A and B are shown apart, each in its own frame.
Chain A
Amino acid sequence: DAGVTQSPTHLIKTRGQQVTLRCSPKSGHDTVSWYQQALGQGPQFIFQYYEEEERQRGNFPDRFSGHQFPNYSSELNVNALLLGDSALYLCASSSGLAGGFTYEQYFGPGTRLTVT
C-alpha cells in the first residue's frame, strides 16, 4: 500500500516564475492538505481540498492556488515566485468526515523548492 507520494523531489526556479507541485494521497484517503515548511520552522497550513473543492485556507496570498482531481490527487500552484517561497512543501492526506483535522494525517516526503 503506497503512502503519500509527491513530485518532484527537488525543484529550482527563478524569481517571477510559476511552479506546480503534485501529490498523490494514501490509498483510501479523500482529503489533501498542503503545508509550507521554511527552514527551522514548523509546517504552515496553506489549504485543504476535499471533493475537488478548497475547504479551508491558511494565511497565504492568492499566488498560491490548488486543485484536486477526481482520483483525489492534488496540485499546488505558486505564481510569481518570490525568494521567500523557498521551502519544503508538504502534502498530507486524511480521510473521514469531510476532511477536517481531527483524523490522522499522513505526510509525504515533500518537495524542496529553491527560488533563486
Chain B
Amino acid sequence: TQLLEQSPQFLSIQEGENLTVYCNSSSVFSSLQWYRQEPGEGPVLLVTVVTGGEVKKLKRLTFQFGDARKDSSLHITAAQPGDTGLYLCAGAHNDMRFGAGTRLTVKP
C-alpha cells in the first residue's frame, strides 16, 4: 500500500512544455526526497527537502515542500527528452515510504 499518492500517474508532453507533478500524504514526514528512475536502474536522488515551505532549485527543476510537511511538488520548466523517466517521491519518518511514481515522457 502506497501511503504517498503521486499524480498524475502518467504524463506525456512535448519538448519545451512546463509540467508539475504532485506528491501528497496524510502523514507528516521529517524529510522528503525526490528520485528519478530509468528502466533497469535504481532510483537516483534528485533532492532532499527538510523544512516546511522549503523550495529548492536544480537547474530547470523546482521542488517545494508543503508548509505542513505532508506534501510536495516538482515543477519542470522547458522539459527536454532527457527528462523522461519515472519520478518518485519518498517520505522519511520511522521508515522510508515511496509513492508509486509519475511516469513522464517528453517527446522531441
Contact = CB atoms under 8 A, between A and B. Distances in A.
Query: Main SS of chain B's interface residues?
Result: strand
A114 to B, nearest CB: 15
Nearest to A42: B98
Interface stretch (B12-20, B35-43, B56-64, B65-73): B35-43
B42 A56 contact: no
B78 interface: no
Contacts of A35: 96, 98
Contacts, number: 63
A50 B4 CA distance: 26
A42 B2 contact: yes
A42 B98 CA distance: 6
A33 B97 CA distance: 12
Interface in B54-108: 88, 90, 92, 94-101
A101 interface: yes
Contacts of B98: 35, 42-45
A108 B42 CA distance: 5
Contacts of B101: 41-42
B100 A41 contact: yes
Given A58-B95, A107-B42, A107-B43, A102 B100 contact: no
Interface of B: 2, 4, 6, 30-31, 33, 35, 40-45, 48, 50, 88, 90, 92, 94-101
